[in-house]
A and B are shown apart, each in its own frame.
Chain A
């Protein structure tokens, strides 16, 4: 039997949606019981092998071909700017990458800001967003709770992911602009797309059928 296709899945908020979609598409997935410390898991029918990765690493696994396919947030894919195919948008993981600031900040257009200090986990997208508007942001790249930054005057603004907006509200922040509407996407390695065309196509079609039937 041939090697299974390797798919990189993001650990965290997208895990359940990704596993559920794959299961609906007819691919046996590791049960939550397996889904603890092991980072590489085999599917029961040996068609898929699963790599459980940090979300921002998924595009890297896929670009290098360490994984043939991956599921990641569009936000992460755009930030990573890796050379991968994006055959399918998936119907989960909806969120927005937004610019937010303190709720009591003066109400004026962003373009009149001097040189805002912006805390974010998405430096590339943030830089591009502000540069396009003629602003030179001072980026503070963080890896933890970005919402904290304006509260302690570390930053004027933040660029972060928002699902419901509750976290922002609870911290006295308000959404100012949408940088990117995000959702889960299926990404594919350029070489695997060709070298394993049949299996990759079968998986895309199986997922697509489920995406359609849901919407």
Chain B
């Protein structure tokens, strides 16, 4: 290869990246698979703006996300921000434009979101999110639908192994009520539960002094309330008030429904999950896959969000990170082939060839026409170099001739049955 003169002095800003052909194809296929899945469940897509007023996006329910937003100014000096997720813009749309529409609303979206957070597990500052929101239905049936649809989405995405863990913030909130700890100590208990720091809980109870024995037992038992449906039986005796009992009843019903949905085999339960306690109001769930230490999908019930933008509405939904699904799939051995055309066709100036190309494309074949006027051998080398397994040229005497790794022979130009077998897919 001759030395190339090119510039290395064009760095990308931190947090963004290009996706080249195979990755881009995998990305778009994943999007379209997810779209088919949610469409089959009656969800309809909306397309949201990439930026809005920062005030709109920075609701007080998402303080953590607030700190991660990309902000900038418009010409009047008003602060704008790139969307850090799609749920808040969706809630704005529902609250301000769709508030009088027949319920429930089933909304889906896909697109890039932007956050200043350290790149982790396939997620840059800009990453792809797809998600669904079921709005205007408060019940356990809606909770179960959301979880089941997440499973359906991951299955459709072709991810061989994954698991969804379902929790419920009501259980821990109820427990905190029963404990009636001073605010500072309650915060410490919550952080310890968040880190599954079982031993610390005992130490914190000592610090708390007089706590009712039942509440003490419930807190110490909490980290073990994780696993299959047997978890509910273990949790039942630890319920101290209506809030805990309701949460447990919610979970039990959701579990029964998930069984009916045929997804129980990939779902586990965790009553000690307290992530985003301030944002969620009911069930929460996260999906994990082997080899990827981070969640692929997360969601839950958030009945307090839409009220920030319009009449309050119960809502449940999830969002998954496209980048992470693709990475998890790759870790499990699903590799996207480099995309290549089915046929490289010689002679851009040959009318018979171009007619054949048009007919083949109309039948779904991917046909590249050589624009360089390469000789037959060069054409074959060019095809090999780009992973195209067949070359078709027009020979004055023989008509259309196809060449592949096995050799060269004449094709009957309108034998479409054979030609269609050339399709890669």
- Taking beta carbons and an 8 Å cutoff, which residues of A are in contact with B? 62-66, 83-89, 188-195, 197, 204, 208, 211
Contacts and interface: CB of A to CB of B under 8 A. Distances in A.
A195 B163 contact: yes
B198 interface: yes
A86 B198 CA distance: 8
A47 B206 CA distance: 36
B270 interface: yes
Contacts of A87: 196-199, 223
B227 A66 contact: no
Contacts of B200: 86, 89
Interface of B: 120-121, 163, 165, 195-200, 223, 226-227, 268, 270, 288-295
Contacts of B288: 190-191, 194-195
Q: Report which residue of B163, B197, B226 has the largest number of chain A beta carbons within 10 angstroms of its beta carbon.
A: B197
Nearest to A198: B227
Contacts, number: 63
A88 B199 CA distance: 6
B290 A191 contact: yes
A107 to B, nearest CB: 31
Contacts of B294: 64-65, 83, 190-191
Given A85-B196, A87-B223, A89-B200, A197 B295 contact: no
B268 A194 contact: yes
Contacts of B289: 191, 195
A197 B227 contact: yes
A86 B196 contact: yes
A204 B197 CA distance: 11
Nearest to A84: B195
A189 B121 CA distance: 13
Ranked 10 nearest A-B pairs via Cβ: A65-B293, A191-B288, A85-B196, A86-B195, A64-B293, A86-B197, A189-B293, A87-B196, A89-B199, A194-B165
Contacts of A63: 120, 293
Contacts of B292: 65, 191
B295 A191 contact: yes
Nearest to A212: B199
A61 to B, nearest CB: 9
A84 B163 CA distance: 18
Contacts of B195: 84-86
B293 A191 contact: yes
Contacts of A197: 226-227, 268
A204 to B, nearest CB: 8
Contacts of A195: 163, 288-290
A65 B196 contact: no
Contacts of A193: 196
A211 B293 CA distance: 27
Nearest to B161: A195
Nearest to B296: A191
7 contacts: A64-B121, A83-B294, A87-B197, A87-B199, A88-B198, A195-B290, A208-B198
Nearest to B194: A85
Nearest to B223: A87
Contacts of A65: 291-294
A117 B318 CA distance: 47
Contacts of A189: 293
A37 B363 CA distance: 61
B197 A190 contact: no
Given A64-B120, A66-B293, A191-B294, 9 more contacts: A86-B195, A86-B197, A87-B199, A89-B197, A190-B293, A193-B196, A194-B165, A194-B226, A194-B268
Nearest to A204: B198
Contacts of A89: 197, 199-200
A67 B250 CA distance: 34
A194 B290 contact: no
Contacts of A190: 288, 293-295
Nearest to A185: B197
A188 B293 contact: no
A31 to B, nearest CB: 29
A194 B291 contact: no
A87 B195 CA distance: 7
B270 A194 contact: yes
A34 B52 CA distance: 59
Nearest to B192: A86
